[in-house]
Structure 1
Amino acid sequence: MLNRIDRYVLRQIMGPLLTTLGIAALLLILERMLKLFDFVVNQGGPVEVVFQMLANQIPHYLGLALPVGLLLGTLLAFRKISLSSEYDAIVSSGIGLPRLMRPVLMLSLVMMLINTVLVGWIQPYGRYAYRNLVFDLRSGALGASIRVGEFVDLGDNITLMIEESRQQGAELVGIFLERRDEKNTISVTAERGGFFATEDDQTILLRLYNGVLVDLNEGQNKPRVLSFDQQDLTVKLPAKETFRDRGGEELELTLPELNRERYNPALSVKEANAMNANFHWRVMHSVTFLILPFLAIPMGLTNKRTARGTGIVIGLSLLILYNEFMEAMETAITNGASPYATTWLLFGLFTALSLFFFRIAAYKVGGEPLAWIDRTWAVVSGPMKRLSKRLMGVSD
């Protein structure tokens, strides 16, 4: 069971962890939202589809934010504890750094399980649903909006143009419509109108008010002209195309499906390698959560006299580089490299470096893994500071 110190450490971690997750996810979602609004508007789709597409993208962004959240949450928590002398008091009471790792590793295990469910099941279904929405938008299955001042082909040989749209498209003003078939053409102008649903989901009703209908028939010497107060025209929608089944690529497969497909003899070598690469990437991405505390804690412990933030910069930089190399290793496996000589070798190096930093912080008296960086910076920055002071003195 967790004692009071364990619960205190977890409370210190959860604050910056949740804050980091919220900020990172919000920034990623806002950046994506702008692109989706532009895409949906250009495709003529309803605005509410943007939020459905964003909801399907949230698991992807959470997968990106979770490692950063755990690293920063743990790092900032132990930085705060060390700066306030609480770490010295805890260590003086006989509780060493390895014992303080217990609640952090428990949290890491929980986050590893969450991430496994996320990348193994939720993300593939979310990606498929997102691409289904993109397909429906491009095929017009979601109902394309009528663009003001443009001729729009509605299918069934019908062309429509409106001058003004009111109440979010519920009322159309200044309508011109033309329907063509093999023998005649009907042209209609109306003061206003609107679309209404019918019992058949492949047919909609266009109700027009205060207009003129002109029927041009090849068998007649002159066209028939009809004035009306209300006229209903049925419009048959084009048949809706069906989207492909899930599993068009490795990113849409769940973890068990991916494990099975990478041994599928029906796949080409390139496709099987891509399945294998993504499988190892997902497994390593989840297992990495157990290693992040061993990097974050040494990066967070700092000297109270200097209180430099070197650890924050180095810790984030190492995680970013690690993620970039992870993607490079996935590409290498797709091209035929061994996953154990690429992905798992990278994981081993990252683990060894993290454990090296942790060993210095835990077992070396006054151990600061990044003390050499601070000393190097002091040597480099000293002459620069003296030169700047001399130049300022000359300018004065």
Structure 2
Amino acid sequence: MFNFIPAIDRYIFRLVIVPMLGVFALAASLLVLDKMLRLLDFVAVEGGPVGVVFKMLATLMPEYASLAIPLGLLLGILLAFRKLATTSELDVFRAVGLSYGRLLRVPYLITAALMAVNIALVFFIQPVSRFTYERLEYDLRSGALGASVKVGEFNTIADRMALRIETSEDDGRELKGIFARVANDKGQVLSISAKSGSFLATTDDPDTIILRLTDGTIVQDTGQQDPRVLTFTRHDLPIDLPAIEEFRSRGEDEREYILPELLRMGWADDEPRSKRAASQASFNFRLVEVVMMALMPLLAVALGIPPKRSTSALGVFISIVMVVAYHKVNQYGEDVGALGMVDPLLALWVPFLLFASLILWMYYRVAFVPGGQAIGALENWFSKIAKRIGKLFRRRRRVVVGEEGED
């Protein structure tokens, strides 16, 4: 089906795509698992339903994807060229006249596709998903998601009812061991206990829910010496939900603006200076993060090819450090640009130009200088350190073996 594609391109595509997808999955899993633990703890403290955790995680996926895509792209290409170099296939390709530019044809096609995906994520999808996450968190704190009743504790509802539920089963659908103390409009106090119950929604009044109780007793304090005691098989107890303020509209944070809104807010003369600076900083931060992806294939080649007769993986480590460090520098540049301390163009594009110059120099050393190595000095230093550590371990092992022989 893809016979019209040259075999070398299909081969490089397979070498790149497998580790790239693996890095995507690994990075996303680590980020999701770390956040999931925090959200589970947060939802447990707030007493909310477990299902909201997965909704909140889903809203965070665009942000995680925008971080994992550049890293996965870099490591996918880097590991592919590292394999070509360590198996001497790269030397064969170079010997038959294939330049690095020709070998990077497929990686750059993949880069272009991922840049388009990342543009959609950071300029359109991520701002909306971030706002959705904030709204879910607000609903959880306010009780709009059913998080106001906590099992095993006394809960005050609408300042006229104290409710305690001993246990909850079937994800909150079946309640056991219910006790309620209610003050009615006449000033009388009702003490209600029931074996089980469940919450039911009402169609007439969305601000009221029904607590349907089964097999219980009502003790009514009428102010007389003997209270009135009633038993019931089923009793519906209306509960007034507390008033919940409507969540704010999207746009209080410049990170929630999509691309047209950023362009309008960042260069509008009628907007406050602080608002314009924050919008411009956010726009330039997102743009520079996407544009940097165009240099990831060159960085991958520069760091993925080890010296001759070497299998050092130092380039993999340095590539991760460089990408993460550059991302942190961009975040700092966005912060100082949003505060108006530095022009956002200078705060974000000057580091980009410096980093791009470094990458281009490293690629030039590998691609056009015979025997050139971008991190040759670091490779030599790393090799010497590794040899010294190996000698120390071997010396320690000989000492231990000698002591055992004396025994």
Q: TM-score w.r.t. structure 2 length?
A: 0.90
Partner Cα separation in structure 2 for residue 375 and residue 193 of structure 1:
73
Which of 292, 298, 311 in structure 2 is aligned with 1:294? 298
Which of 368, 371, 375 in structure 2 is aligned with 1:366? 371
Matched, 1:249 2:253: yes
Which of 7, 11, 16 in structure 2 is aligned with 1:13? 16
Alignment of 1:143-222 (within 5 A): 143-144=146-147, 146-155=149-158, 157-182=160-185, 183-200=187-204, 201-217=206-222
Contact 1:204/1:234 (<8 A) preserved: yes
Alignment of 1:1-396 (within 5 A): 2-144=5-147, 146-155=149-158, 157-182=160-185, 183-200=187-204, 201-217=206-222, 223-336=227-340, 337-378=342-383, 396=402
What is the identity, as a one-letter code, of the residue corresponding to 1:208?
A: L
Q: Per-residue CA shift, 1:342-362, capped at 9, x if unaligned?
A: 211111111111111111111
Cα 1:139/1:378, change in 2 over 3 Å: closer
Aligned length: 395
Cα 1:209/1:313, change in 2 over 3 Å: closer
What is the identity, as a one-letter code, of the residue corresponding to 1:340?
A: L
Contact 1:156/1:235 (<8 A) preserved: no
Q: CA deviation at 1:253?
A: 0.8
Q: Per-residue CA shift, 1:58-109, capped at 9, x if unaligned?
A: 1111111111101100100000011112111111111111222222222111
Contact 1:71/1:293 (<8 A) preserved: yes
Q: TM-score w.r.t. structure 1 length?
A: 0.92
Q: CA deviation at 1:223?
A: 3.6
Instruction: Report the 3-state secondary structure (helix = DSSP H, G, I; strand = E; otherwise coil) of the residue aligned with 2:346.
Output: coil
Instruction: Report the 3-state secondary structure (helix = DSSP H, G, I; strand = E; otherwise coil) of the residue aligned with 2:345.
Output: coil
Contact 2:265/2:275 (<8 A) preserved: no
Partner Cα separation in structure 2 for residue 227 and residue 385 of structure 1:
82
* More relative contact order, 1 or 2 (CA 8 Å, 6+ apart): 1
Q: Per-residue CA shift, 1:118-153, capped at 9, x if unaligned?
A: 111111111111111111111111112643331112
Cα 1:357/1:32, change in 2 over 3 Å: same
Q: CA deviation at 1:392?
A: 6.2
Contact 2:277/2:344 (<8 A) preserved: no
Deviates more, 1:340-349 or 1:299-308: 299-308
Instruction: Report the 3-state secondary structure (helix = DSSP H, G, I; strand = E; otherwise coil) of the residue aligned with 1:340.
Output: helix
What is the identity, as a one-letter code, of the residue corresponding to 1:110?
A: A
Q: Which residues of structure 1 form unaligned runs of 5+? A: none
Q: Which residues of structure 2 form unaligned runs of 5+? A: 403-407
What is the identity, as a one-letter code, of the residue corresponding to 1:307?
A: T
Partner Cα separation in structure 2 for residue 392 and residue 172 of structure 1:
64
Q: Per-residue CA shift, 1:310-366, capped at 9, x if unaligned?
A: 211222221122112111211221232123322111111111111111111111222
Q: CA deviation at 1:234?
A: 1.8
Instruction: Report the 3-state secondary structure (helix = DSSP H, G, I; strand = E; otherwise coil) of the residue aligned with 1:147.
Output: coil
Q: CA RMSD in A?
A: 2.3
Partner Cα separation in structure 2 for residue 381 and residue 167 of structure 1:
57
Partner Cα separation in structure 2 for residue 386 and residue 230 of structure 1:
81
